[in-house]
A and B are shown apart, each in its own frame.
Chain A
Amino acid sequence: MKEADFLDNATLETFKHTGGNVLLTTIDDVIDWGRSNSVWPLTFATSCCGIEMMAAGASRHDFARFGIEVYRASPRQSDLIVVAGTIVNKMAPVLKRLYDQMSEPKYVIAMGACAVSGGPFYYNCYHVVRGVDHVIPVDVYIPGCPPRPEALLYGVMQLQRKIKLATIADVKRIQK
């Protein structure tokens, strides 16, 4: 990671300012380590990308190596929603509700061309939402139609990197 990125991390700055404490510096590390290595995705797939997501979870690609193991069927138990497939106008309110039902902290991966931008259904189509970011905020975009399971693994690792940058200080600021 670049030096500049490290400086963006508010935790490090705080600890630098206060001089730091072995116990306090490790709290963030422990929480982020825990969060990033036990991401529970929601079983949510609308079309073809869902099959590649299943393949990523199955024997050969084995999601579980990265701590993304338990697919949860209920949004209340999951931290990550992988939007795998096209989102159409009728589905958009449902997706929004699913996202709202998830508890904080929650993350979104837009998997595949349809979720990123509408993909092959961008033109001449009357019922497709052109990109899932019109409905919910997205953390990681994975292009491809459909992306290979390896691409999904890479995307998930990028998300873990992102999770590791989170701090308790940030959360407190949001709550205030």
Chain B
Amino acid sequence: MKEVIHTPVKALEEEEYHINMGPQHPSTHGVLRLVVSLQGEIVKSLKPHCGYIHRGIEKMCEKDTYPQIIHLTDRMDYLSAHINNHGVCLLVEDALQIEVPERVKYIRTIIDELTRIQSHQLWWACFGMDLGGLTCFFYGLRDREKILDIFEESCGSRLLHSYYTPGGLMWDIHPNFQKSVKDFIKYFRKKIKDYDRLLSGNIIFMERTKNVGHLSKEDAISYGITGPSGRASGFSCDIRKHHPYGVYDKADFREILFTEGDTYHRYIARMDEMHESMKIIEQLIDNIPAGDFSAKMKAVIKLPAGEYYQRVETARGEMGIYCISDGNKTPYRIKFRSPNFSNLGVLDHLSRGFKIADLVAIGASLDFVIPDIDR
């Protein structure tokens, strides 16, 4: 007779097991795939798999002229479309040493800040929805439509505008621009109080975000976490302050800095940034000088041979454009340092030891735009 071997059955599994989140998952905000290894409900480690929207924009840029590249940068981080365009325009203008009219600088700065607000509104809407509050989604997108109306009036489209061109703007702003921006600020100052009432002071929300996913300042610098996520950890990385472009040097605003670095403070940092952005717009909107909306540019733009690096502050952090030119009308090599790609690297570090539900909150607080990760 065979000997019967009894293997003890454990009531609770202690081995690690893996679950697959994405590429089609609503809380990854796109087609990011996370392979999470869990013990019970606790995240042990996590491996992001990217590339589900890798379109090879850097390779395409090697065949495109500089004005054409602007249209591709729109499609990387579509929520900061204007700011990405601004980066390419500044790169070309600095390389050719073109002085753009003051009017252009003012308009660009105002539109950049409007872009930042609408991006944060959408982030807030999705953050609330990821944590289970559908009302946030409707509130956030309702107010975002107001900014899109302003964009539509002046730039001609809602989401991907390509409004900036090297040397200036595609066309001048709409005569209504100043009035509609001022109306919006007035409207949104009232509405942002609702945001705070709905989420910021909500006890359930605070329980789910406070002391979750702590990031120290050293780690933030080492991982290259920029933007509001980095500043929530105390990493002073605001390009608008350190390397001012546009007319940020003329505006008075505060760099939002916290030291806690948890999910809640990443949230507060973005909320405060919306206030600061409105402050910047209010200072500039009445002082737009008269003048041309574009400097004179040659029909074919050729950058002198050499290397150029341009940084701008998008809604998610530092966007860098590294360009090697060999003197032709197309770049030899162009590299986009995308803030989301660096921010993704820290997700494993942040979510270890937390529950899988916290992973959703941490991911939402880092505010990923997946096409910007993959490019």
A binds B: yes
Decide: B54 and A127 in contact? CB cutoff 8 A.
yes
B-facing mask of A125-144, CB < 8 A → 1, else 0?
A: 11110000000000000000
Decide: A88 and B141 in contact? CB cutoff 8 A.
no
Decide: A47 and B53 in contact? CB cutoff 8 A.
yes
Specify which chain B residues have a CB less than 8 angstroms from the CB of A173 in the assembled complex.
none
A155 at the interface (CB under 8 A from B): no
Q: How far is the CB of A160 from chain B (nearest CB, A)?
A: 24
A32 at the interface (CB under 8 A from B): no
Interface size class of B (residues with CB under 8 A): 35 or more
Specify which chain A residues have a CB less than 8 angstroms from the CB of B26 in the assembled complex.
43, 71, 73
Choose, from B70-78, B97-105, B107-115, B287-295, the stretch at the interface. B70-78
A146 at the interface (CB under 8 A from B): yes
A-facing mask of B254-265, CB < 8 A → 1, else 0?
A: 000000000000
Decide: B122 and A47 in contact? CB cutoff 8 A.
no
Choose, from B56-64, B228-236, B272-280, B306-314, the stretch at the interface. B56-64
Decide: B142 and A60 in contact? CB cutoff 8 A.
yes
Interface size class of A (residues with CB under 8 A): 35 or more
Decide: A46 and B138 in contact? CB cutoff 8 A.
no
Q: How far is the CB of B116 from chain A (nearest CB, A)?
A: 16
Specify which chain B residues have a CB less than 8 angstroms from the CB of A45 in the assembled complex.
30
Q: How far is the CB of B237 from chain A (nearest CB, A)?
A: 26
In the complex the two chains form, what is the Cα distance from A146 to B59 in whole Å? 23
Q: How far is the CB of B363 from chain A (nearest CB, A)?
A: 15
Q: How far is the CB of A87 from chain B (nearest CB, A)?
A: 9
A41 at the interface (CB under 8 A from B): no
Specify which chain A residues have a CB less than 8 angstroms from the CB of B186 in the assembled complex.
none
Q: A47-B371, A148-B158 are known contacts. Are A59 and B30 too (CB-CB below 8 A)?
A: no
In the complex the two chains form, what is the Cα distance from A127 to B79 in whole Å? 23
Decide: B160 and A48 in contact? CB cutoff 8 A.
yes
- Measuring CB to CB, which residues of chain A are less than 8 angstroms from any residue of chain B? 42-48, 50-52, 54-55, 58-60, 71, 73, 75, 85-86, 88, 90-91, 94, 98, 120-121, 123-128, 145-146, 148
List 9 A–B pairs whose Cβ atoms lie within 8 Å, in order of A's numbering: A48-B159, A48-B160, A51-B78, A58-B142, A85-B53, A86-B55, A91-B31, A94-B31, A121-B55
